[in-house]
């Protein structure tokens, strides 16, 4: 599924050059559940950006299936993101003016679907995260756990190959954290997703098949 | 999705929508009102010109006034013999009416008309004689009694100051109105072409040399005269045969009264003399050529084109015209620029506030084009809302202007300068008669609304929205999708 070869990503900050990822070579097979851990500033989010086709590496190659992400034009990267990749964020990142149903529909906007098909697929996705009755609520009217469920529905509504999550439980209490993790695991198991999540939480990381540790841009496998 | 998202954004971020729309609405309303009022002022100027010079007049020919003191044509003069009037109880009651050339214009030989007609590309021409009828009535104290208290023979030089308690116990009433001698044959040009007959009949060729008069409607009303009545002009009785009004609403016609040209010449002792020739050129292109040919053929004459005439419109009308065209235009431009700036700044700050939102949409696969379209769509609709409100407010403003219908006075200065009054007759010149030198008319301002103005105004609002949207969209396009992963601030 994913193949990263000698990936380096560096940023030019005001004076110095920061290497967020340093010569990372990594393979992630289809259907794997991977947890990424590491100290803050270690490069976890940067790695997720490479996997999520949000940024191109400074050097090295990133491929997703047959697609060579590191050399693709912006518009084609957007197309890959629209079809293949689902994203879940720590801050939920829902659009505050849209209802839950409409937020889920934004993920289908890039596809050529009729309004009714879009609506029915979004409704099903909301049902699958247990929010079938909250479609007309705006984010501000939902609890943190419910907002993250809407965000998960938005991520899976397009039936992506990969689900990437950056600290999906970071803003939630323990009880809600477990609920969300069970939901993600269930989706991973039932839909054959490749699930890659960044977490500080060892309890969350223990659920994964594989654990990666990232520190100062270097990736190591953790047993 | 586009529509839903747009409506949700505009209705949930109402403050931004309202501010942008109000700014735009103010600017659009101002543009409409300024445009309508300046169009109204232009119409008023045109109607004043038309009522004074007639429809279709391209060029007028006149002669500048001779230097004062060269004879007595410059001012009215009353000569009373000792036997005039009736004397009772030592006071003489007198009443006299005199007709003379209008101030500021000199008469010249009618043969000039033939010269004008001989010039190439002259389609039509007619000559008129502008006169002023001044009637005087009042009481004079007995001269024989005055001799004792007076200073020798200088009594007549003391200016009568009007009222019955004035110097020497005299009482005067001075009345004047304008008289225009016109060609009874009826031509394509001339002052009467801008007038419509509202009562009675127009001149026919048979009227030549007879004492018949056509009155301006407002003069007829103030003088309480109707068709069939008789009025005194230059000491003779004239029969009122018709009443005319200006074709352009609210303006008066060029003169108070119109009489046959030859009658006027005879009565004013100005045989074969005219004061103005109205010329129509065969085409607008020929005007310049006709003007220069006329100047060559009549070296002593002043030849004015319609453009010269337009610049001669003076009074509050011209002040209003200047005010509207300078202040109004600048104000519109400034307010419009401010509205655009407000729209742009608010859109940019909106995009900055929604950095995470747009980053997230990019992260889930929205292309730059879709996001730019969304931002531009929002600004466009905000501008359009402002445009619609602005049109409504602007129309209301114009309606108020038209309801108030301010009256503007306009004077078209005579082609020649008004010479200093005060002929040898002394005393009576000035005041009301000096005003007769230039035709003054009152015009009520009506600001017209035209579809193009409304379309331009709405177009401006849309341009403003598009501009803000383009700049905001450009900002949004530059956002990195990775912004979505920025830790919550
Ligand atoms: N856009 C950027 N511009 C400059 N430097 C950046 C940028 N993004 C990340 N970095 C730097 O790269 C390094 C890795 O950052 P990254 O966000 O990947 O860390 P992280 O492991 O996700 O940390 P955290 O646990 O705090 O989220 C950091 O030193 C960060 O300052
Ligand atoms: Mg991070």
Residue B99 sits at the vertex; the CA angle it makes with B93 and B101, to the nearest 5 degrees, is 140
Segment A109-161, tens digit of pLDDT = 999 899 999 999 999 999 999 999 999 999 999 999 999 999 999 999 999 99
Q: Do A102 and B4 touch (CB under 8 A)?
A: yes
pLDDT for the residue B445? 78
Confidence tier at B325 by pLDDT (50, 70, 90): confident
Task: Please state, in angstroms and rounded to a whole number, the distance separating the CA atoms of residues A106 and A154.
Answer: 8
Which residues contact residue B432 at a Cβ distance below 8 angstroms, ignoring those fewer than 6 apart?
B174, B176
Confidence tier at B428 by pLDDT (50, 70, 90): very low
Q: Which residue has the higher pLDDT, B412 or B247?
A: B247
Mutual orientation of helices B451-477 and B329-353 as an angle, nearest 10°? 30
The tally of domains found in chain A comes to: 1
pLDDT for the residue B308? 72
Residue B368: its chain A contacts at CB < 8 A? 74-75, 78
pLDDT at B427 over 60: no
Task: Please state, in angstroms and rounded to a whole number, the distance separating the CA atoms of residues A209 and B442.
Answer: 95
Confidence tier at B430 by pLDDT (50, 70, 90): very low
pLDDT for the residue B404? 85
- Mean pLDDT calculated for residue range B255-275: 88
Which of ligand 1's atoms lies nearest the C-alpha of A48?
A: 18
Q: Which residue has the higher pLDDT, B313 or A189?
A: A189
- Mean pLDDT calculated for residue range B148-177: 53
Burial string for B99-113 (b: 16+ CB within 10 Å, else e) reads: bbbbbbbbbbebebb
Bridge partners, residue B279, by sequence: B59, B125
Confidence tier at A163 by pLDDT (50, 70, 90): very high
Which residues contact residue B324 at a Cβ distance below 8 angstroms, ignoring those fewer than 6 apart?
B34, B37, B38, B41
- Mean pLDDT calculated for residue range B138-157: 50
Give B9 to chain A, closest Cα distance, Å.
6
pLDDT for the residue B426? 34
Here the tokens at position B104 are 């500021």
pLDDT for the residue B54? 66
Cα radius of gyration rounded to whole Å, chain A: 17
- The ipTM of this complex is 0.95
pLDDT at B140 over 90: no
Check which CATH number belongs to the domain holding A215 and give it.
3.40.50.300
Closest CA to A221 of A21, A38, A87: A38
pLDDT at B332 over 90: no
pLDDT at B435 over 50: no
pLDDT for the residue B471? 95
Give B41 to chain A, closest Cα distance, Å.
49
- Across chain B, mean pLDDT equals 77
| Window from A18-32, A207-221, B308-322, B359-373 with minimum mean pLDDT | B308-322
pLDDT for the residue B249? 54
pLDDT for the residue A64? 94
Instruction: Supply the residue whose CA is at minimum distance from atom 30 of ligand 1.
Output: A41
Q: Do A90 and B370 touch (CB under 8 A)?
A: no
pTM listed for this prediction = 0.67
Q: Which 187-216 residues of chain A touch chain B by CB within 8 A?
A: none
Residues of chain B contacting A, Cβ within 8 Å: 1-2, 4-5, 8-9, 12-13, 356-357, 360-368, 370, 480-482, 484-485, 487-488
pLDDT at B369 over 50: yes
Bridge partners, residue B276, by sequence: B62, B128
Instruction: Give me the residue spans of the domains in chain B.
Output: 2-48+317-406+445-488, 92-139+160-300
Confidence tier at B102 by pLDDT (50, 70, 90): low
pLDDT for the residue B88? 57
The rounded percent of chain A whose pLDDT value lies above 70 is: 100
Task: Please state, in angstroms and rounded to a whole number, the distance separating the CA atoms of residues B19 and A125.
Answer: 38
Instruction: Supply the residue whose CA is at minimum distance from atom 17 of ligand 1.
Output: A45
pLDDT at B454 over 80: yes
Instruction: Supply the residue whose CA is at minimum distance from atom 26 of ligand 1.
Output: A40
Task: Please state, in angstroms and rounded to a whole number, the distance separating the CA atoms of residues B393 and B417.
Answer: 45
Closest CA to B383 of B327, B413, B421, B339: B339
The rounded percent of chain B whose pLDDT value lies above 70 is: 72
* Domain region containing A38: 2-222
Q: Do B5 and A106 touch (CB under 8 A)?
A: yes
Residue B437 sits at the vertex; the CA angle it makes with B432 and B438, to the nearest 5 degrees, is 105
Task: Please state, in angstroms and rounded to a whole number, the distance separating the CA atoms of residues B410 and B317.
Answer: 5
Give CA torsion, residues A70, A73, A77, A83, to 10 deg: -120
Neighbours of A115 (CB within 10 A): 12
Segment B347-361, tens digit of pLDDT = 999 999 999 999 999
Kindly provide the residue ranges of all beta strands, DSSP E only, lying in B82-207, ordered along the sequence: 86-88, 91-101, 108-109, 122-141, 171-182, 195-200
Residue B13: its chain A contacts at CB < 8 A? 97
Q: Which segments of B405-450 does DSSP mark as H helices, in order?
A: 432-435
How many residues are listed for chain B in this entry?
Answer: 489
Closest CA to A102 of A136, A141, A140, A152: A136
pLDDT for the residue B450? 84
């Amino acid at each position: 599924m994913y193949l990263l070869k000698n990936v380096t990503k560096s940023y030019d900050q005001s004076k110095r050059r920061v290497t967020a990822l340093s010569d990372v070579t990594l393979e992630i097979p289809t259907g794997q559940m991977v947890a990424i851990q590491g100290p803050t500033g270690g490069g976890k989010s940067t790695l997720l950006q490479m996997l999520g086709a949000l940024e191109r590496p400074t050097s090295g190659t990133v491929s997703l299936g047959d697609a060579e992400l590191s050399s693709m034009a912006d518009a084609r990267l957007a197309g890959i993101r629209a079809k293949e990749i689902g994203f879940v964020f720590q801050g939920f990142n829902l659009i505050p003016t849209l209802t839950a149903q409409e937020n889920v529909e934004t993920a289908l906007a890039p596809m050529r679907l009729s309004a009714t098909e879009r609506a029915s697929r979004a409704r099903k996705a909301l049902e699958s995260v247990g929010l079938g009755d909250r479609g007309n609520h705006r984010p501000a009217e939902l609890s943190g756990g419910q907002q993250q469920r809407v965000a998960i529905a938005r991520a899976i509504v397009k039936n992506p190959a990969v689900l990437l999550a950056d600290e999906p439980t970071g803003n939630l209490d323990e009880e809600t954290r477990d609920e969300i993790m069970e939901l993600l695991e269930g989706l991973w198991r039932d839909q054959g997703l490749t699930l890659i999540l960044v977490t500080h939480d060892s309890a969350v990381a223990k659920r994964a098949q594989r654990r990666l540790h990232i520190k100062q841009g270097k990736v190591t496998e953790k047993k | 999705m586009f529509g839903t998202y747009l409506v949700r954004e505009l209705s949930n971020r109402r403050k931004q929508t309202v501010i942008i729309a109000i700014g735009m609405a103010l600017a659009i309303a101002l543009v409409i009102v300024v445009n309508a009022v300046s169009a109204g002022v232009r119409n008023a100027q045109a109607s004043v010109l038309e009522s004074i010079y007639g429809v279709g007049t391209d060029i007028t020919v006149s002669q500048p006034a001779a230097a004062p003191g060269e004879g007595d044509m410059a001012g009215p003069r009353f000569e009373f013999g000792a036997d005039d009037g009736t004397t009772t109880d030592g006071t003489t009651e007198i009443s006299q009416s005199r007709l003379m050339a209008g101030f500021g214009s000199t008469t010249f030989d009618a043969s000039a008309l033939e010269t004008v007609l001989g010039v190439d590309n002259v389609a039509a021409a007619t000559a008129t004689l502008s006169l002023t009828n001044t009637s005087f009535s009042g009481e004079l104290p007995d001269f024989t009694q005055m001799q004792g208290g007076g200073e020798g023979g200088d009594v007549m030089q003391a200016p009568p100051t009007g009222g019955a308690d004035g110097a020497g116990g005299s009482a005067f009433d001075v009345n004047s109105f304008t008289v225009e001698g016109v060609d009874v044959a009826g031509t394509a040009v001339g002052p009467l072409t801008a007038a419509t007959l509202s009562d009675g009949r127009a001149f026919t060729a048979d009227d030549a040399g007879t004492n018949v008069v056509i009155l301006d409607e407002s003069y007829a009303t103030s003088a309480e005269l109707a068709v069939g009545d008789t009025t005194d002009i230059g000491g003779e009785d004239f029969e009122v045969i018709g009443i005319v009004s200006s074709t352009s609403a609210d303006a008066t016609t060029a003169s108070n009264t119109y009489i046959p040209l030859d009658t006027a010449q005879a009565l004013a002792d100005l045989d074969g003399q005219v004061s103005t020739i109205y010329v129509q050129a065969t085409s607008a292109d020929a005007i310049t050529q006709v003007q220069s040919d006329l100047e060559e053929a009549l070296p002593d004459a002043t030849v004015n084109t319609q453009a010269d005439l337009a610049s001669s419109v003076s009074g509050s009308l011209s002040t209003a015209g200047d005010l509207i065209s300078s202040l109004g235009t600048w104000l519109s431009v400034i307010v419009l620029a401010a509205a655009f700036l407000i729209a742009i700044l608010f859109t940019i700050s909106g995009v900055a506030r929604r950095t995470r939102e747009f980053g997230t949409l990019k992260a889930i696969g929205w292309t730059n084009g879709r996001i730019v379209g969304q931002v531009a769509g929002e600004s466009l609709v905000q501008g359009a809302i402002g445009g619609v409100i602005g049109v409504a407010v602007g129309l209301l403003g114009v309606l108020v202007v038209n309801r108030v219908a301010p009256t503007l006075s306009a004077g078209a200065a005579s082609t020649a300068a008004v010479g200093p009054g005060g002929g040898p007759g002394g005393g009576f010149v000035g005041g009301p008669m000096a005003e007769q030198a230039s035709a003054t008319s009152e015009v009520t301002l009506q600001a017209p609304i035209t579809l193009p103005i409304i379309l331009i105004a709405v177009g401006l609002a849309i341009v403003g929205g598009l501009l803000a949207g383009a700049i905001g969209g450009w900002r949004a396009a530059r956002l990195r999708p990775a912004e979505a992963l920025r830790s919550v601030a």
